[in-house]
């Protein structure tokens, strides 16, 4: 018999006390507008230890209501009176909130490991049918399992937050739910402080967006394997490299080999790097800023070049791309960029990677401890190959890769990660 999740109708949780009036319209930054268009990012926090019990939903409601006072824009809605110029209307409506109960224990559904034994739609909140999802800024669902375990499903609008910013907001919610008087980090909006450089023409037709049939897979990379490559890199270069550098090099090489494009075909690696450290002196305070603070970095090589390169050599390529990012981002802010780096080809040769292991979602404690596992659920995005780096469920170490980067015919070689 399949597990059943019983949901309450979605209700609004408004700020706990008055906030600025609905006549206040807040601009979004040039980075917010460049990064994405109203994409709803979906993720699940799994609390296998339980502890929230029947009071979990009430504590979460209180946490959201109190956090929405200093974070009052999150209680608003996205509006767009002029095409391409979205704003946040500080309506004070609140966030949509759903309470749910599952008729099973987390162990009965394999702790929500892939493949999911509960449909993703059952774990995520949705607004009422008449409400446009793309106009909402954040929604939450608390699901209590028979074992006392809890999942928190979050949908946040990428136009308003990047991953680090959304995690910052949830930390504030958790602090309010635990009874703290105010968030430990004061929120900073200040989107208009970020320069708005002139738009760069595309210089050709818009990129195609073919829908691929990506297969979802999960791979564990052990700490031992990562450290071995770090040691190899140090021995060859005398420098240190990061876990991200090592895992990305492994994945880039393996996927390039797996998809088996012609030797002279381009294989591209793209990743978004945080630029918060480059905004000191631009923002009134970098700490507390919860808007998009990322800029794309990447590598383009031929399939043959990546196939012939060693992991150490690819690590060096990744480090070079990261080091060049500072100059490119500053050029972009100053209007000196010659290319629109936010645009990239969306063909099968492109791989995007995103590191969720250090954003902060794993350090959120609503009152029953930190989550044992956090993972995204945007399973319907099929236009570009992606890999997301996660902390594996406790007590495992290393890095977990959630892959949606190859079609069925290329899964075996990529899954082996032994290229």
Burial environment of residue 129 by CB neighbours within 10 A (0 to 12, 13 to 18, 19 or more): exposed
Residue 115: both structure tokens together: 């493949």
- Residue 88: which of 32, 11, 163 has the closest Cα? 32
What is the per-residue burial (b if ≥16 Cβ within 10 Å, else e) of 108-117?
ebeebeeebe
CA distance 309 to 301: 10
CA distance 257 to 279: 38
- Tell me which of 158, 162, 245, 355 is the catalytic residue: 158
What is the per-residue burial (b if ≥16 Cβ within 10 Å, else e) of 228-247?
ebbebbeeeeeeebebbbbb
Residue 402: both structure tokens together: 């959630």
Question: DSSP class of residue 121?
Answer: H
CA distance 113 to 109: 8
Q: Is 316 helix (H, G, I), strand (E, B) or coil?
A: helix
Q: What is the greatest pairwise CA distance in the chain?
A: 62
Per DSSP bridges, beta strands 150-157 and 40-47 are antiparallel
Give the torsion sign (CA, 272, 391, 124, 404). Answer: positive
CB atoms within 10 A of CB 317: 19
Q: Is 280 designated active site?
A: no
CB 32 within 8 A of CB 193: no
Q: Is 365 designated active site?
A: yes
Q: Is 125 helix (H, G, I), strand (E, B) or coil?
A: coil
- C-alpha to C-alpha distances, 218 to 14, 33, 308, 351, 405, nearest whole angstrom: 38, 31, 26, 16, 11
Q: Is 182 helix (H, G, I), strand (E, B) or coil?
A: coil
Give the torsion sign (CA, 112, 113, 118, 119). Answer: positive
Burial environment of residue 27 by CB neighbours within 10 A (0 to 12, 13 to 18, 19 or more): middle
- Tell me which of 108, 196, 232, 365 is the catalytic residue: 365
Residues marked active site are found at 158, 365
């Amino acid at each position: 018999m399949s597990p059943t999740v019983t949901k309450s109708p979605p209700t609004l949780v408004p700020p706990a006390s008055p906030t600025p009036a609905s006549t206040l319209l807040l601009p979004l930054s040039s980075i917010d507008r460049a990064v994405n268009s109203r994409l709803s990012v979906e993720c699940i926090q799994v609390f296998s230890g339980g502890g929230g019990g029947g009071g979990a939903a009430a504590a979460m409601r209180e946490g959201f209501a109190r956090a929405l006072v200093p974070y009052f824009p999150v209680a608003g809605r996205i509006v767009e009176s002029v095409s391409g110029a979205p704003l946040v209307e500080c309506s004070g409506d609140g966030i949509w909130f759903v309470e749910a109960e599952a008729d099973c224990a987390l162990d009965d559904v394999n702790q929500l490991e892939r493949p999911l034994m509960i449909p993703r739609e059952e774990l995520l909140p949705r607004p009422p049918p008449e409400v446009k999802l793309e106009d909402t800024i954040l929604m939450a669902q608390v699901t209590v399992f028979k074992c006392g375990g809890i999942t928190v499903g979050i949908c946040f609008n990428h136009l308003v937050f990047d991953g680090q910013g959304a995690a910052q907001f949830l930390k504030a919610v958790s602090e309010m739910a635990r009874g703290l008087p105010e968030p430990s980090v004061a929120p900073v909006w200040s989107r208009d402080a970020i320069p708005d450089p002139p738009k760069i023409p595309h210089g050709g037709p818009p990129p195609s967006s073919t829908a691929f049939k990506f297969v979802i897979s999960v791979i564990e990379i052990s700490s031992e394997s990562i450290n071995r490559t770090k040691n190899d890199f140090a021995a060859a270069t005398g420098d240190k490299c990061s876990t991200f550098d090592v895992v990305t090099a492994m994945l880039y090489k393996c996927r390039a080999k797996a998809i088996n494009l012609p030797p002279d075909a381009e294989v591209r690696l793209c990743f978004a790097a945080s630029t918060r450290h480059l905004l000191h002196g631009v923002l009134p305070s970098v700490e507390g800023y919860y808007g998009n603070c990322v800029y794309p970095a990447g590598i383009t090589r031929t399939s043959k070049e990546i196939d012939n390169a060693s992991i150490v050599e690819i690590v060096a390529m990744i480090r070079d791309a990261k080091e060049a990012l500072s100059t490119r981002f500053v050029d972009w802010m100053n209007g000196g960029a010659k290319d629109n780096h936010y645009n990239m080809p969306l063909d099968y040769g492109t791989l995007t990677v995103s590191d969720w292991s250090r954003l902060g979602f794993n350090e959120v404690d609503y009152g029953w401890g930190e989550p044992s596992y956090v993972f995204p659920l945007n399973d319907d995005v099929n236009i570009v190959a992606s890999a997301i780096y996660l902390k594996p469920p406790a007590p495992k170490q290393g890095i977990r890769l959630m892959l949606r980067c190859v079609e069925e015919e290329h899964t075996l070689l990529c899954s082996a990660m032994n290229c």
